[in-house]
Amino acid sequence: MENKETEINAVQAFCAALGSDNVKLQEPMKKHTTFRIGGPADYYLCPHSVRELQAVLHICRGEKLPFFILGNGSNLLVSDKGYRGAVIQLWKNMSEIERTGTRIRAQAGALLSKIAAAALEDGLTGMEFAAGIPGTLGGAVVMNAGAYGGEMKDIIKEVQVMDQEGNLLNLPAEKLELGYRTSIIKKKDYIVLSAVLELEPGDREEIRAKMDDLKERRVSKQPLELPSAGSTFKRPEGYFAGKLIMDAGLRGFSVGGAQISEKHCGFVVNKGNATAEDVTDLIREVQEKVKERFGVELEPEVKFLGEF
C-alpha cells in the first residue's frame, strides 16, 4: 500500500462506488488466475457496469493508483509479491450475451465458450475455433486470440472500449489494427467493454461436430489437467515454439513446481505449489537453451503482472 491515508481514502471511495461486497483488500491472486499462482493485490474490485468502472478509474487517477483489468485470469502470471495497485475484474459481473440475427453482442467478461455455445444454439458458424479458448471476450479482442486457423479478426464487427480517462469509444473492425496477438486496443491501453461479432448461418449439426472435433484435439494434445496460463510462448516466425522446446530436449524439464508439459512442450504447467519465480526461471532457461541450439528467440505470450 502507498500509505495509510491513501489506503483509507481509496477503500472508502471504492466501497461508496461499488458496495463493500465488491471490494477486497490483499486478495491472493492465485485464486483468480488459471496458473493458480500469484501474491496479493492491494485492492481487488468488481464493478458491475460501465458507470461503476468509470467511477473506479476516476478514484485510481485521484489516488494515483496503478490498475490492471482482469478477465478470468488465463494467459497471466502474477508476481509472488502480488500487485501494488487495483486489480479490476470484468468477468461474470459483466458477461451478458445478446443475439440479433447473425450478430452476437457480448460484454467483455463473457467467456468465449459461452459465446460459442450461444452461436451453436442459433445455428451460427464462425465461432467454432474459439469454443475451447479458456478466456473472456475482452482479452481475446485485445490479443486477437486465435486457434486452429481462426482468429477474432475474422468475426469482429465493432468494439466498444473505454480509454484510461473513462471516455467511451466505438471502434469498427477496420480501425482495430488486429494482427498476431496484437491490436490498437493493446497499443493504446484501451479497456474492452463489449464487442459485436458477425457470424454466418450454418448447419447446427456441422457446427457441433466441428466444435466436438476441436475439443477432442485440445483434450488429447494439451495439458488441461494441470494449471497453466495456456500457450507460454508466441509462435516464432517459421517455427513452432513447442517443437523447438521438444527438440532442445526440454520435455518435462522442471524448475521447482513449474514444468515444461510432457504432453505439449509449448505449455508451462504448475505441478503443485509453483511460484512465479519458478515459472520465470524456467522460461529463462528454455529461452537460453532454444537460442543456443537453434538461434531462435522465444518471446513469452503470457502477460506478467507485478514486480519480477
Q: Is the pLDDT of residue 49 over 70?
A: yes
Q: What is the pLDDT of residue 96?
A: 97
Q: What is the pLDDT of residue 120?
A: 97
Whether residue 126 is predicted with pLDDT greater than 80 in this model: the reply is: yes
pLDDT of residue 149: 87
Q: What mean pLDDT, rounded, does the chain reach?
A: 95
Residue 175 C-alpha cell reads as 480501425
- The residue annotated as part of the active site, out of 7, 198, 285, 301, is 301
How many other C-beta atoms are found inside a 10 Å radius of the C-beta of residue 234?
14
The pairs formed by 60-65 with CB atoms below 8 angstroms and a separation of 24 or more are: 60/85, 60/86, 61/165, 62/13, 63/2, 63/6, 63/9, 63/10, 63/13, 64/2, 64/6, 65/2, 65/6, 65/10
Contacts of 142-148 with CB under 8 Å at 24 or more apart are: 142/183, 142/185, 142/186, 142/192, 143/75, 143/181, 143/182, 143/183, 143/186, 144/178, 144/179, 144/180, 144/181, 144/182, 144/183, 145/112, 145/181, 147/214, 148/214, 148/217
CB 157 within 8 A of CB 196: yes
pLDDT of residue 226: 96
Identify the CA nearest to 108 among candidates 184, 185, 31. Answer: 185
Contact between residue 29 and residue 39 where contact means Cβ atoms under 8 Å apart: yes
**pLDDT for 209-230, tens place per residue?**
999 999 899 889 999 999 999 9
Is 3 a residue whose pLDDT tops 90? no
For residue 180, the model assigns a pLDDT of: 86
Q: What's residue 5's pLDDT?
A: 72
Q: How confident is the model at residue 123 (pLDDT cuts 50, 70, 90)?
A: very high
The predicted pLDDT at position 2 comes to 53
Q: Which triple of cell numbers denotes residue 70?
A: 482482469
Q: Is the pLDDT of residue 141 over 60?
A: yes
Does the annotation mark 301 as catalytic? yes
Architecture of the domain made up of 95-206: 2-Layer Sandwich (3.30)
Tell if the pTM clears 0.75, that is, is over it. Answer: yes
**Active-site residue identified among 194, 228, 231, 261:** 231
CATH 3.40.50.300 is the classification of domain 223-305: no
Whether the pLDDT of residue 85 is over 70: the answer is: yes
* Pairing, β 150-151 against β 146-147: antiparallel
Instruction: State the pLDDT at residue 132.
Output: 86
Domain ranges of the chain: 4-92, 95-206, 223-305
Round to whole Å and give the CA distance between 289 and 135: 30
Is 299 assigned a catalytic role?
A: no
Among 10-14, 145-149, 272-276, the minimum mean pLDDT is found in 145-149
Which residue in the list 113, 181, 183, 261 is annotated as catalytic?
Answer: 181
Alpha carbon distance 168, 147 (integer Å): 30
- For residues 198 and 119, give the distance between their C-alpha atoms in angstroms, rounded to a whole number: 10
Q: How do residues 19-32 score in pLDDT, each as one tens digit?
A: 999 999 999 999 99
DSSP-derived pairing of the beta strands 83-89 and 67-70: parallel
Using the CB atoms, write b or e for 21-35: b if 16+ within 10 Å.
ebbbeebebbebbbb
Query: pLDDT tens, 182-205?
Result: 899 999 999 999 999 999 999 999
Please say if the pLDDT value at position 93 is more than 60: yes
**Mean local confidence (pLDDT), 49-67:** 96
CATH number corresponding to 4-92: 3.30.43.10
Grid coordinates given for 143: 490479443
Q: Is 36 designated active site?
A: no
